[in-house]
Structure 1
Amino acid sequence: MQSDVPNNEKLDAELGTPPYSNRGAQNTEAHALRALVDWVSCTFTTVQDAHEIITLLDLPKDKFQEHENGKFGYKSHLRFGHIAIYFDGPIDAGVFLDISGQGCREYEAFGAKTWSQLFSDILPMKYNFTRLDVAVDDFKGALSVPTLKRKVREGAVRSRFKTSMEVRKTKVSDGSSTGETLYFGSAQSRIQIRFYDKLLEQVSKNKKLNEDVDHWTRVEVQLRKEHANAVALII
Structure 2
Amino acid sequence: MPVDIFDIQSAKVQHKTYQSAYAIGSIKVFGNPKKNEDNPFGLGSYLVLKGMGCDEIFCILDMHGQSFGDLFKRCERWFCDKFHFTRLDIAIDDRNEVPYFTIKQLKRKCEREEYIANSNNHRFNESKYQEYSTAKTVYIGAGKSAMSYRFYDKDKEVSMKHDKTLDDIGSWKRTEMQLRDEKAHTFAMLFKDNPFDLGKLAFDLLAGSLRFVVPDKTQSNKSRWKTCRFWKRFLGAVEPLKLHVETPHNTLLETQRWLKEGGVLSAVKAFHFLEVHQALGDLERVEDMLKHVRYSPALGNKLTGHLCRIHREELIPRVQYDTKKG
TM-score over 0.5 for the alignment? yes
Structure having the larger proportion of residues in strand: 1
Provide the aligned length of Structure 1 versus Structure 2. Answer: 175
Residue 73 (structure 2) pairs with residue 120 (structure 1): yes
Are the aligned partners of 1:178 and 1:201 in contact in 2 as well (CA < 8 Å)?
A: no
Structure 2 unaligned blocks of 5 or more: 192-326
The residue aligned with 2:101 is 143
Identity of aligned residues (%): 30
Structure 1 residues 62 and 153: alpha-carbon distance in aligned structure 2, compared to 1, 3 A threshold: same
Specify which of 93, 100, 120 is matched with residue 162 of structure 1.
Answer: 120
* Cα drift, residue 199 of structure 1: 0.4
Code of the aligned partner of 1:67:
Q
Distance in 2 of aligned mates of 1:210 and 1:106: 27
Structure number with the bigger relative contact order (C-alpha 8 A, sep ≥ 6) is 1
Q: In the alignment, does 2:44 pair up with 1:94? A: yes
> Which structure shows the higher helix fraction?
2
Given the alignment of the two structures, is residue 108 of structure 1 paired with residue 21 of structure 2, yes or no?
A: no
* Cα offset, 1:110, TM superposition: 4.2
Residues 97-106 or 181-190, more deviating? 97-106
Highest Rg: 1 or 2? 2
SS at match of 1:215: coil
Distance of 1:210 and 1:179 partners within structure 2? 12
Aligned ranges 1:147-226 → 2 under 5 Å: 147-170=105-128, 175=131, 177=133, 179-206=135-162, 213-226=169-182
Q: Which amino acid aligns with 1:147?
A: Q
| Deviation, structure 1 residue 230 | 0.8
Provide structure 1 residue ranges, at least 5 long, that are not aligned to the other structure.
1-53, 55-59
For normalisation by structure 2, the TM-score amounts to: 0.48
Match of 2:269 in 1: none
Name the Cα RMSD after superposition: 2.5
Per-residue CA distance 1:131-182 (angstroms, 9 max, x = gap): 11111111122232112222223443122221311110126xx745452110
Q: Distance in 2 between matches of 1:115 and 1:162?
A: 33
1:79-90 equivalences under 5 Å are: 79-90=23-34
